[in-house]
Structure 1
């Protein structure tokens, strides 16, 4: 697996070479990214690999130099995880990060009942327990097979039928409550895993944005977790196709447990043409309705 960090900021076009020299001076080798013009400024988005030769200390010092020498104070950051073909083939489980390269895969909750409690008094992350079926406007699902609602996956009737036909296991279904126009509403079901995975390996990569405050002491808020890593022996007796992670994720406000899916689930999605074979966000195949699965890494 390779970890890359993309920066994005605006510069004067005449400053391109000098900015590249600042990166190189800090031991971060970049080429000349494509510049996208906008008025008198251009968008500059260098991408570089994070490894033992490029540390957070170097990145922080780089940003300080860019601010001091060029007045660049607003720097966007985005992490990418790139996997080898072998890592895709070896993975027994996958994290589903997207069911379409489009904001339409996210639906707004329309009134699901939760009980709430404070998980961390410092960053105010909240625990929540679901008390009712999910409430959404199902007309917004349209022809999508799976949508994301506040950390939960909601499946269309067509996808549920396919999962049953292919004998995918390890989950329960809870029909959602429709709130919205009657015309175009459709049956939809929350997929609820009935098994929880063991804890991840402590070798899992944990990142944060150098442009933001350090992560909270709770170890959750401000942390960008890398791919799940498991020891082979922890998963060798695994049965089923849908699982909860032992670790909590969050959406910036509420905690939830991530759902992981089996290799067989991913292969079913590709076999029936719901998604093309996509390997990473930079895959040229990644279209508006393709599903993005990241492999679980095995030690």
Structure 2
């Protein structure tokens, strides 16, 4: 697995050679940008690999040089985690990051009862305990099979049937409450894992955006966690196909535990043409209905 960082900012065409020289000075070699036809701004979005020679500390210094030497202060950042074919082939667990390259697959909660408490008084992250079935507009699911609601996965009736037919194990189902138009209403079920995985390995990559505030002292807000990594011996005896992570994730406001799925579950999705097999966000085959599974790594 390698970590890649994408930058995005705009500059005047006359400054492009100076920008490239600053990147080169820090061991990052990029090409000249394409100039937009409607104005004189050049859009820079180089993608480069972070490694022992180009660390994130180097990148933070690069940003300071761009600011002090060229006045560039607004720099967009995006991390990518690029896995090898062998890492996909050897993984027994996967993290499901998306069930469609589309924001419509993240549905709004419409009145679920939660108990809310403050987790961190510095960044304001909140914990919530679910007290009732999820309340959503099930007509929004349409022909999709799994949608994300406030940190939870909700499955269509067809997907639940397939999971039972293929003997997918390790979860409970809780039928959601429909609130919305009757037309298009359909049965849907929250998937609730029965098991929590061991804690991740200390070798898990942890990053942050140099262009934003430093991470909070709670260790969650402002931290970008890399792929899940486990000590192989810690999960040898695990059985089932659906698991909660031990670590908290968050949506910027509320905490939740990620759900991880087995290879068997991923193969069921591909075999039944629910998704094509895609490997990463930059996969050219990643379409609007494809599911994005990242392999869990083992040490």
Partner of 1:78: 78
**Deviation at residue 18 of structure 1 after TM alignment:** 1.8
Partner of 2:128: 128
C-alpha separation between the residues in 1 aligned to 2:105 and 2:83? Answer: 24
C-alpha separation between the residues in 2 aligned to 1:200 and 1:73? Answer: 35
Partner of 2:145: 145
After TM superposition, the structure 1 stretch with the greater mean CA deviation from structure 2, 56-65 or 239-248, is 56-65
After TM superposition, the structure 1 stretch with the greater mean CA deviation from structure 2, 15-24 or 288-297, is 15-24
**Deviation at residue 13 of structure 1 after TM alignment:** 2.4
- Change in Cα spacing, 1:272 to 1:121, as seen in structure 2 (3 Å) is same
Secondary structure in 1 matching 2:9? strand
Q: Cα deviation per residue 1:135-157 (whole Å; 9 max; x = unaligned)?
A: 11111111111111111001111
**Deviation at residue 57 of structure 1 after TM alignment:** 2.5
Secondary structure in 1 matching 2:217? coil
**Deviation at residue 33 of structure 1 after TM alignment:** 4.7
Q: Cα deviation per residue 1:202-239 (whole Å; 9 max; x = unaligned)?
A: 00000000001111111111000000101111111111
**Deviation at residue 17 of structure 1 after TM alignment:** 2.2
Partner of 1:96: 96
Q: Cα deviation per residue 1:67-104 (whole Å; 9 max; x = unaligned)?
A: 22222111100000000111111111000001111111
Partner of 1:214: 214
Describe how 1:1-299 pairs up with structure 2 within 5 A.
1-37=1-37, 39-299=39-299
- Change in Cα spacing, 1:84 to 1:179, as seen in structure 2 (3 Å) is same
**Deviation at residue 287 of structure 1 after TM alignment:** 0.3
**Deviation at residue 59 of structure 1 after TM alignment:** 1.0
Q: 2:206 touches 2:224 (CA, 8 Å); kept in 1?
A: yes
- Change in Cα spacing, 1:217 to 1:26, as seen in structure 2 (3 Å) is same
After TM superposition, the structure 1 stretch with the greater mean CA deviation from structure 2, 26-35 or 249-258, is 26-35
- Change in Cα spacing, 1:239 to 1:255, as seen in structure 2 (3 Å) is same
Please give the TM-score of this superposition, normalised by the length of structure 1: 0.97
C-alpha separation between the residues in 1 aligned to 2:271 and 2:16? Answer: 46
C-alpha separation between the residues in 1 aligned to 2:230 and 2:34? Answer: 38
C-alpha separation between the residues in 1 aligned to 2:22 and 2:260? Answer: 41
- In the alignment of these two chains, the number of paired residues is 299
Q: Which runs of 5+ in 2 are unaligned?
A: none
- Change in Cα spacing, 1:33 to 1:276, as seen in structure 2 (3 Å) is farther
Please give the TM-score of this superposition, normalised by the length of structure 2: 0.97
**Deviation at residue 35 of structure 1 after TM alignment:** 4.9
**Deviation at residue 65 of structure 1 after TM alignment:** 1.5
C-alpha separation between the residues in 2 aligned to 1:38 and 1:32? Answer: 18
**Deviation at residue 38 of structure 1 after TM alignment:** 5.0
Q: Cα deviation per residue 1:23-78 (whole Å; 9 max; x = unaligned)?
A: 01122222335555553323210111111111232111111121222221111000
